Amino acid sequence: MLSVAELLDGADATDAGIARVFERVRDIPFTFAAHNDADTLLAFGAGTCAPKHALLARLYAQLGLETRFVYVAFRFDDMPGEFPAKLRSALHDGVVRAHAALTVRRAHGWIDIDATFDQPLGASGFIVTLGWDGRTSMPLVVNPLARVESALPPENEEQLLGITHRTGFPHAVVQELNAWLQKLRADTHARGAGSLRR
pLDDT for 193: 53
pLDDT for 24: 98
Whole-model pTM: value is 0.93
Work out the widest C-alpha separation in the chain, in whole angstroms. Answer: 46
For 94-124, write each residue's pLDDT tens digit.
999 999 999 999 999 999 999 999 999 999 9
Name the band, by pLDDT with cuts 50, 70 and 90, for residue 34.
confident
d(CA 6, CA 84): 35
**What architecture (CATH level 2) is domain 4-190?**
Roll (3.10)
Share of the chain above pLDDT 70, in %: 97
Domain boundaries, the chain: 4-190
